[in-house]
Structure 1
Amino acid sequence: MALWGKRSDMVVHEREPFNAEPPRGALGEEELTPLDTFYVRNHGPVPALDPAAWRLTVDGLVERPLELSLDALRERFEEAEVVATLQCAGNRRAGLADVRDIPGEDPWGPGATSTARWSGVRLADVLAAAGLLPQAAHIAFAAPDVSTIPDPPQPYGGSVPVAKACSAEVLLAWAMNGRPLPPVHGAPLRVVVPGWIGARSVKWLQRVTARREPSDAYFQATAYRLLPADADPAHAGPGDGISLGPIALNCDILRPGQQHTRLPAGPTEVVGYALAGDDRTVARVDVSLDGGLTWTQADLAPRPARWTWQLWRTTVELPPGEAEITVRAWDSTGATQPESPAHLWNPKGYANNSWARLRLVCG
């Protein structure tokens, strides 16, 4: 095992704060991602929290502010469960970095995406118990992990609109895949916001605040915003760019292998994932061996649950020499992915959902 109970072949982008993704092929094995394989995105050191002393504060625009222990959460509220895929907004950033350098950002591949069965209580039930007031428009989350990315350093925080926060799928989770939440994934309690970028699923949750405006925390107001290509992120201020929320339609190839893997020519099984954020679904996955001139449809597996990825597979006939597999997905609105990462490049490297390409050497 490597750091934090993860598999030894994780691609570690940083050790402190710990940021790592599984190798490309590891995600294609199962619909649920094992705990040792699930990607990790942190902005500061993992805080050491005592579950017995931990408390959750619920305040802001509510009639009855609450302070809840883990035991109180379990006793007062019905336990709920959701199977959901989380995806980092920087997933597939390496494809954008191939177009143009993205200084200071980790070169995530396609593995900053994972699926788990989450257990806890519905955030909506907790907000109802606190008496959420009608003027509340956003629910903010605060955690104790301090990041040195803002100047001065500050704890992590973010928010989602009230309509999303009160949806039945949004949980305050204490377990994943039937086991207690590991410290590196947010123990003792984290938010899980299915269909939205992973940055909104705040870990090590300590405070839930009902507000009129979105959170003013750095990672809501300044980071995780899509800046124009000519912007300088070092001078970006609160409110600049487009705030990222629902996950963009995306897909990638998980097998065979890494870029430039050498394989025998001939029939080869290709496996990957596709994901449509918010309330959209994946309708089709197309595969091409000629750069998109012609396409065939892959076999798309049913979704394990409403808020998850779908695995797809097909068999292609790889020619001798260099080959490139290209993949694109379509969603239930009829939208598809953009062809080139060059058209999506942005100075933070977010939201690369261009066609997936895997280059191989065959023969």
Structure 2
Amino acid sequence: MPGLRAPSDYKQEPPRHPALAINSKEPFNAEPHRSALVSSYVTPVEFFYKRNHGPIPIVDDVNKYSVSFTGLIDNQKELYMKDIWNLPKYTVTATLQCAGNRRTAMSKSQKVRGVGWDISAIGNAVWSGAKLADVLELIGIPKYSNVTSRGGKHVEFVSIDKCKEENGGPYKASIPLSQATNPEADVLLAYEMNGETLNRDHGYPLRVIVPGVIGARSVKWLDSINIIANECQGFFMQKDYKMFPPSVNWDNINWSSRRPQMDFPVQCAICSLEDVNMVKPGKITIKGYAVSGGGRGIERVDVSVDGGKTWVEASRSQKSGMLYISDDESSDKWAWVLFETEADISQATEIIAKAVDIAGNVQPENVEVIWNLRGILNTSWHRVHVRVGHSNL
């Protein structure tokens, strides 16, 4: 593609923050320390998790870069960045979460395959760009469309990014046309993150943001957008990121029996404490994040400091100085909340957090009941252990 190319090696990777925990160097997959996530409501770009499948694409000339629109539409079209920039600019605060977030904890129950993420394959950012509904209208697809005149029902996003899982082909994913053409779904073709031009790691010059859905569908480094009759048949839609029951293993798996995962379930994690902590007796502060997919707000976060015998409700917040109400227009419905509570600790204990969303969905108590061979969607109660010591720490 003019202006944008995918290198064949890792010699021209962008610089990254040295504090990131690297889970894979080539391709680069890394997450921040968990404490960084609760330092601010909006995650700084340098501490936003990096999820890649190959070398980072390079933009040679942003003015020559374009996205081609093909498939079941009346007229094939090519849009340049100036065409995208000329559309109304929208800003959406949305949390992206890798479906494999907290995979490491799931693997302790039974071995799984995938990048070994701790609890920080998640971040909350302010994304700016054109609404996909406006872009599709520009190429002749009206808002709130379920099907095009030629039978298109899905919108496929194809990256310039090449990956081994596609046998050297491009990364791709799709969402239903009804979601893509609905302005209230807030799907963006984003060119800014936290008020700045996207950096290379996060999709420069143009990426998709699909709020409330697992990060795998928010395709970076867009090459083309195709209107298709059925779901994308790419590897990451058909042979990955599907939720299987604990009874399924690599010998009896039937990929076609499950739908591609879209919305992520209700999730929370404690970020102010490690998995095992030594503290002085007295008050400690417990902080973390909670989020649910599909735009469902967080109704409450329950915290236990005695291994689940008793619970207290933590405070929830989003924007500084504003009261968070889970289903109010003033709240960012696609974004996480940060929770906080204090506890008096006098002896060794297990601290647990669990969240409930506005639909009444709650996290499962144990990881074993949701274990799956790919280690995705570990939304079990988050647990950390505290030991009490009297020496200087």
Shorter-chain TM-score: which interval? over 0.9
Aligned twin of 1:129: 138
Deviation of 1:210 (Å): 1.1
- Aligned runs of 1:13-52 on 2, under 5 Å? 13-50=23-60, 51-52=62-63
Aligned twin of 2:321: none
| Aligned partner of residue 206 in structure 1, secondary structure | strand
Deviation of 1:63 (Å): 2.2
Aligned twin of 2:122: 113
| Aligned partner of residue 236 in structure 2, secondary structure | helix
Aligned partners of 1:225 and 1:240 also within 8 Å: no
Instruction: Please tell me whether residue 225 in structure 1 is matched to residue 242 in structure 2.
Output: yes
**Alignment length (residue pairs):** 356
- Aligned runs of 1:184-199 on 2, under 5 Å? 184-199=201-216
Distance, in Å, in 2 between the alignment partners of 1:195 and 1:354 is: 19
Distance, in Å, in 2 between the alignment partners of 1:300 and 1:337 is: 17
Distance, in Å, in 2 between the alignment partners of 1:122 and 1:259 is: 40
Of 130, 140, 146 in structure 1, the residue corresponding to residue 156 of structure 2 is: 140
Deviation of 1:53 (Å): 2.5
Aligned partners of 1:222 and 1:236 also within 8 Å: no
Closer/same/farther in 2, CA of residues 95 and 74 from structure 1, 3 Å limit: same
Deviations 1:248-292 (A, max 9, x none): 100000103x22121112110110110011031110100012221
Closer/same/farther in 2, CA of residues 329 and 343 from structure 1, 3 Å limit: same
Instruction: Please tell me whether residue 59 in structure 1 is matched to residue 70 in structure 2.
Output: yes
Aligned twin of 2:173: 158
Deviation of 1:241 (Å): 2.8
| Aligned partner of residue 36 in structure 1, secondary structure | helix
Instruction: Please tell me whether residue 354 in structure 1 is matched to residue 363 in structure 2.
Output: no
Aligned partners of 2:296 and 2:334 also within 8 Å: no
Of 299, 306, 312 in structure 1, the residue corresponding to residue 333 of structure 2 is: 306
Which letter maps to 2:72? L
Distance, in Å, in 1 between the alignment partners of 2:129 and 2:312 is: 41
Distance, in Å, in 2 between the alignment partners of 1:293 and 1:263 is: 21
| Aligned partner of residue 98 in structure 1, secondary structure | helix
Distance, in Å, in 2 between the alignment partners of 1:69 and 1:8 is: 35
Of 369, 375, 380 in structure 2, the residue corresponding to residue 343 of structure 1 is: 369
Deviations 1:126-173 (A, max 9, x none): 1111112253211110012111134x3321000011122123210000
Aligned partners of 2:246 and 2:369 also within 8 Å: no
Deviations 1:80-137 (A, max 9, x none): 111111010001111111101114x111111011011111101111111111225321
Q: Once superposed, what is the RMSD of the aligned Cα atoms?
A: 1.7
Distance, in Å, in 1 between the alignment partners of 2:250 and 2:106 is: 16
Distance, in Å, in 1 between the alignment partners of 2:27 and 2:55 is: 5
Aligned twin of 1:282: 298
Aligned partners of 2:211 and 2:295 also within 8 Å: no
Deviation of 1:238 (Å): 5.1
Query: Structure 2: 5+ residue runs without aligned partners?
Result: 1-12, 142-147, 318-323
Aligned twin of 2:145: none
Aligned partners of 2:165 and 2:235 also within 8 Å: no
Aligned partners of 1:222 and 1:240 also within 8 Å: no
Instruction: Please tell me whether residue 90 in structure 1 is matched to residue 100 in structure 2.
Output: yes
TM-score normalised per structure 1: 0.94
Which letter maps to 1:282? I
Aligned twin of 2:82: 71
Deviation of 1:221 (Å): 1.5
Deviation of 1:235 (Å): 7.6
Which letter maps to 2:180? A
- Higher mean Cα deviation, 134-143 or 3-12? 3-12
Which letter maps to 2:363? Q
Deviation of 1:237 (Å): 6.0
Which letter maps to 1:49? V
Query: Structure 1: 5+ residue runs without aligned partners?
Result: none
Distance, in Å, in 1 between the alignment partners of 2:57 and 2:17 is: 21
Which letter maps to 2:214? I
Of 346, 349, 354 in structure 2, the residue corresponding to residue 323 of structure 1 is: 349
- Higher mean Cα deviation, 295-304 or 341-350? 295-304
